Structure 1
Amino acid sequence: MTCMMQAGLWAATQVSMDHPPTGPPSQDDFSEVLTQVHEGFELGTLAGPAFAWLRRSLGLAEEDYQAALGPGGPYLQFLSTSKSKASFFLSHDQRFFLKTQGRREVQVLLAHLPRYVQHLQRHPHSLLARLLGVHSLRVDRGKKTYFIIMQSVFYPPGRISERYDIKGCEVSRWVEPAPEGSPLVLVLKDLNFQGKTINLGPQRSWFLRQMELDTTFLRELNVLDYSLLMAFQCLHEDERGLGSSLIFRTARSVEGAQSPEESEAQNRRLLPDTPNALHILDGPEQRYFLGVVDLATVYGLRKRLEHLWKTLRYPSRTFSTVSPARYARRLCQWVEAHTE
């Protein structure tokens, strides 16, 4: 399947290179569907012009995007501790993350896409994972498989020592750690993080404020069950205390304000001069990779019934299926309690 994905994405990206966006996406751009027929399969590109504009706004060159996702090297299979049946892949350079999604989840993402783009325009340094493409793959006229492409939060991966997926609750939030010396890379969960803190130093206030802004936005979309991804990397001695050398890099974010007042309203910060700067915060001794992912679960009838069932089964424990308002508030409280 990955070989078909690579060939299809190469051709799909070529379309956006041949017809680059000339301005912000229109309503038609958000609803456009392009189907390209290849030998043995079809690849669909949903809202292609809108995503092409978003990638350009993020400073991502289409040539680099095409080279990373095309046939230049094999995708890496990502072993997830998630309960979902989704498949996870990384591009060969580990810069981009691919995940299969259900049809309903894709519909939710596309319905929210205009507001998602607006949120990134208002808050260019948002912690929300950057969604870069939504596609479908059909093999031999079979059932469509949908998948999304995101900028990987855990990039560049070198020297990362720990990875976590945080939801701010207890039920099913423990992963058995890999044995010492094992090459297996696991993403741990809330209960694995007990007794630990994130030491952000002076960047803590920015982080708390941005979490509040992003979770408020997701609450307004009636979304829940998203995660805060975290990873840690020890800073070398010569990397510590480099706050004075940070650069205010607006060109690498979504287009935004210029004045100090507008920058404050958008909650901008000084970005480190490093790849993936939007998801990286440096503390006094550690570099933190931080991003909010999984934005496609809405609080509909199914989730309300699941909430009722879990309330009866786990009367004194916290679980993920709660109202969007409570979910947002609880995750922000977890962040405040575990940062310094």
Structure 2
Amino acid sequence: MTPRIAFTPGEPAGIGPELAVKLACSERASDIASAQIIAIADPDLLQQEATRQGKALTLLPFDPTLPVQATPANSLHILPVELAQAAYPGQLNPTNAPYVLETLRLAAEGCLQRTFDAVVTGPVHKGVINEAGVPFSGHTEFFAEKAGVEKVVMMLAADELRVALATTHLPLKDVSDAISGPSLQQVLTILHRSLRDQFRIEHPRIGVCGLNPHAGEDGHLGREEIDVIEPALETLRALGLNLIGPLPADTLFTPPQLARCDAVLAMYHDQGLPVLKFKGFGRAINITLGLPFIRTSVDHGTALNIAGNGIADTGSLYAALSQAIELAKLRQF
């Protein structure tokens, strides 16, 4: 079956529109030609970007009542949303914040209604949305609220390496207090279920990092491993989860240990993601686990400093679309 993939280019002044046009009109487009790609965006914005790049982009009207048709090369299916004001590369405009949020709302509702099989998101600028008077902390929280989901998990992937996070965007001084037995059990349960149900890994193996150097060194460098992490792992092992650790991060992120794992749970953002980005910079993607629909994303920001210069790299967007298509096809069986 041909999956329908919604794509939101994100901040109109960032590199999202540039990436959309560049990928649609590249040789790589043939690699994702097994899906219908629906850009939820302002058609004029994409056509202006195509003109800037000297590309002949065809925008095909999206009609959900028609049979699914794979999107041809040099084309995008379009679900139009109008900008409030014209957008210019590199120039943020809070007036267009409602436009960005409307593209996300349509994508979420389309996924919940099964009009779309997945959503792929381009980068947004949280600051300009907040400046417009809208409290917005990110895609993940937005989609979780729309789906009525209390807890989701952030996982990044590059090639065969998958790294999920026990905590996300916290100051380092707050990480220890944020890690509790119940929160770890919740995160690991979502991660295990997603690897099994979404990725079709029958018996997922999850490596778990310790929080402290040397995983606490028997309590001499911190007791979080002894008092919190290990008891949580033991509770879940009794339920049948295959959990390796807690191990020191500098031990777990080595080839022999990674070969034993289908995913790694890092305790905080900069414990796991530098390793992943070093391994797969330009190919890494973000996958939100725990939603009732598939959501993947680029792993970079709006890059306002290079927007409009034609030099943005499509690698992460290509990987995010490819992963969304693969997961959508797995879900159909």
TM-score, length basis structure 1: 0.26
Higher relative contact order (CA 8 A, sep 6+): 2
TM-score, length basis structure 2: 0.26
